[in-house]
Structure formats: structure tokens, C-alpha cells
Structure 1
């Protein structure tokens, strides 16, 4: 039988765990800690970060960094911490923590919501190549992009190694933080930058480096969407890595939806 965690003590605000690491998670933490009885009520907020970014932006409320140790570890944290609700505001490609959250919350009967930003969708003029992962993206580049051409990688620091199988290509890797040196392709320029990015800036980047193709994860959102518009204008192919399957968790598209959910009785 599922064992529920003890709830927050009488007279104390209910406890909310935000699984974070995205702009939505940060905006939610700011919104909830700044709200007093109006929209979402008063909450004791903890944001959990995986620790992949070494210098995360400052957040209000409590912040914990590091993994939980799977489903059992997360369930133990929810129980001991007397967590009343959980909002999964992780990256759309953080499939493991989303699955663990669904299982742990179901085990304990803790209400769970996911903020699931809408995926990007191609529009007329786009040249998208749909692939399952970075390995499939690298295979397509090796076959379709001319030797010596430059490719822009915008998929973060953890999925770079497969592009080592494209030694005939040059790469520009844009990432918030640098990957391990041994993961980089042999001819790779690293740009450590954080969005949002503008359309003019993306046009300039493409022109400066002679970009012939772009590899991206379908993260959705506005902060990094300008590269898609620039690629469309210049008829540059975008190798788009589709999102992984996630658990069938109740979901909203934005922070406003999450605040509305928090305002409802459990």
C-alpha cells in the first residue's frame, strides 16, 4: 500500500518541490515566493537542480543540488520533507527525472504537475530533418553535408561525442558550459553562451562561421527559437532531435497554468 508523507504541520505553509533547471522553473519559484494569498497561495518552496550547470542563476526559496538516487531516493525525500505538491519543470529532454517523479509521487499519493512547454513545429520554408537522437543526427550529417562544411551544434554539452564520427566536418558548438574535452569533435569551436538569442544575432553567427547546417533538440520556447527563423530565411537544414517519451502526467504549458493548479484545493 502506498504510504503518504506527513503533510506540512498545522499553521505552516504547504511545501512545494520544484524540479527545476529551466526558465519556467525559475519563473515559477519567483512567482510563488512572491505571492501571498492571491493566485497560488503561500508556499514553502524548494527548487531542486541536477547540478549539471556549475553556476546556476540565483533562485528564491530553498535550493538543493544533485540527484535523489532514483525513485526510492526521491520518494524518501518527499516523505521526510513532508512535501505537499511537486511540479516537474525540468527540461523536455530530462526523461529520467520525469519518470522518477511520476513513480515516486504515485507511490506516495503526492499531487504532481509537469510544465511542458509546447514543442517547436515546422512552418513553410523550414528544412527540418527529424531524428531520434544525437547519434542519428551525426549519421545524417556524415551522409548529407559536404566535406569541410561547418555545422552549428546547439544541443548542450552532454550529447557531443557522437559527432566525433564526422571528422570531415567542422563544428561550432554553442553551450552554456564546456563539455569534457575528450567528447569534442576534432575540429570544433566552442562558444560558451546562454540565451536568449536574437534573430539578428543568429543571422550574424551563421554568416560569420559559414554555417551550412544546424543540429538542435526540440526544446521549444522563445529563448533559443531565433536560430530556426534564421535557418528558414537562409534555407539551411535543421537536424531536429525529437523529444523523448514522457510519463502521462497532468501537464500545463506555462507558469500561469502551474499557478492556477497550485491555487486549487488538493
Structure 2
């Protein structure tokens, strides 16, 4: 049995692959929203935020032989827990991570390593700031971007909208839409909200990152990109065909 740690568009591609291969697997996601978007790909879905010990228990109960980690590139704790669990159980761990983009080298792109650095730069150069970083760390941005007009693009779920309101964001500060978004949609949103700065994460091609960045570059808007963190994965794959081969070899 394979445990797929998902919640991204990549994990849905992997479910498609496993279905075609006839592999038995369980998809684990952190939220009900993740379950909802995965239903048409997978029947056996676990909804839980698993720490290391939860993963060990779950793997033992379900006779897991491979952990296939397709979580978001910034979900480091989940990946660490998965690697630790696989090591303790002596089972195979494979990290599937979308390719990075090659368009980061532009004069209007400012690369930083974390949220604090992003806010430090943004406080100096931005006024109408478009946040395309998701809702997970929205509180850090709101707390550190003082006296700025923030436009946060987030998922259109009641849970996320309540979180935005609890942070003091008003209707005119919230763009509730499900991505990924096209170049044209991004460009029109930047124009509509009169943005002079975009903050995003280096999420990779599958997350619509290139469309966001090309739209801001072509609009002559400075963009702060929080670079993807890195872990020392025992095995990392960024191509679905290579994953196919590795799964065939693991039989």
C-alpha cells in the first residue's frame, strides 16, 4: 500500500498515475477542501494533519510500504515528519516536487528567503501590496506590513474568509478565488487594485507561479519572491514519468 501525502495539483496527477498503474494507495490531505477537490481522483482519502507519530501509527495500521510526499514545497514540517516516519519504519520515501521556474532573473524581481525579509523589503517600497502567498501565513504579513493597503488573494472557503476577517481585513482587501490563474487574470487584478508591489512564493509551474510573475513583470510592478526552502530529501523526483519508473521498480 502507498501513502500519498497530497493537497496539491501535483498529488492529483500522481493519483491519476497510480490509478492507471492499478496501485493500491491512500491519499492523505490536511483539510476538507483538499478532500473535496480530490474526490474524483481517489476513493480512499484520509483527512488529518499527521505528525511523525501519527504517520507511523497510520502506516502500521494500513501496511504502508511507500510514502509518496507530494505536499506543497513550503510544507516543510509535513515532509520532515514523513521522512522521519519512513526512516523509523524502514520503508521507502519519495519526494515529488514540481520544477522551479527559470524566470526569476529580472530587475523587477526581488528574491528573499523568508516572510520577515519579504516584509522588510515591502515596507520600504510598497503601498498597495498584492499578496499571492495563500492564507496560511497571512497573519505574519498583516502583522508586519504596517500602514499598507493589503490585497490578499485566498481560497473562497468560509474558514479562510473568517480567518481574513479575524485579521482585520475588509471586503476590499480580499480576493477570494480558486487558482491557478492565467496571465490575463493576474494582470487585470493587479491593474484593478492599482498594485505597486506583488508578494508571492516560488511555488513552481504547476501552481501558476510563472503566470503571476510574467504578469507583474509586464505590468512593470516589482515582485518579491520568497524562494523555495530546501530539505535534504533521500529521493526527489520532479517528473511524472520518472516517478512511474520508480514505482515499477519498487514492485
TM-score range, shorter chain: 0.7 to 0.9
Corresponding residue of 2:197: 213
1:152-167 pair list within 5 angstroms = 152-164=130-142, 165-167=144-146
1:72-105 per-residue CA deviation (whole Å, 9 max, x = no partner) reads: 2211211121012111000000100101111111
Q: Judge conservation of contact 2:10–2:206 (CA < 8 Å) in 1.
A: no
Q: Does 1:231 align with 2:216?
A: yes
Q: Distance in 2 between matches of 1:162 and 1:104?
A: 30
**Pairwise CA distance, 1:56:** 3.1
Tell me the SS of whatever aligns to 1:243: coil
Distance change in 2, residues 1:126/1:199 (3 Å): farther
Aligned-pair CA distance for 1:136:
2.2
User: In the alignment, which of 40, 43, 46 is matched to residue 61 of structure 1?
Assistant: 43
Out of 80, 99, 115, the position equivalent to 1:99 is 80
Checking the alignment, whether the CA contact within 8 Å between 2:29 and 2:35 is kept in structure 1 is no
Q: 1:190 aligns with which of 174, 178, 185?
A: 174
**Mean CA deviation greater in 93-102 or 203-212:** 203-212
Off by >6 Å, runs of 4+ in structure 1: none
2:30 and 2:47 in contact (8 A); partners too: yes
Name the TM-score, length of structure 2 as normaliser.
0.88
Alignment RMSD (CA, Å): 2.1
Alpha-carbon distance change, 189 to 45 in structure 1, aligned in 2, over 3 angstroms = same
Secondary structure of the residue that 1:86 maps to in structure 2? strand
Q: Distance in 1 between matches of 2:118 and 2:167?
A: 16
Matched, 1:17 2:7: no
TM-score (norm 1): 0.83
Aligned length: 242
Q: Counterparts in 2 of 1:1-266, with a 5 A limit?
A: 15-33=1-19, 35=20, 41-51=21-31, 53=33, 56-57=36-37, 58=39, 59-68=41-50, 70-123=51-104, 125-145=106-126, 149-164=127-142, 165-176=144-155, 177=157, 178=160, 180=163, 181-184=165-168, 189-224=173-208, 225-266=210-251
Indicate if the aligned counterparts of 2:98 and 2:206 stay in contact, CA closer than 8 A: no
TM superposition shift of 1:229: 0.4
Deviation at 1:237, TM superposition (A): 1.2
Please give the alpha-carbon distance, in whole angstroms, between the structure 2 residues aligned to 1:92 and 1:221: 12
Deviation, structure 1 residue 186: 7.2
Higher helix share: 2
Distance in 1 (CA, whole Å) between partners of 2:35 and 2:43 is 17
- Whether the 8 Å CA contact 2:123–2:145 is kept in 1: the answer is yes
Give the equivalent residue in structure 2 for 1:10. Answer: none
SS at match of 2:205: coil
SS class of match (2:216): helix
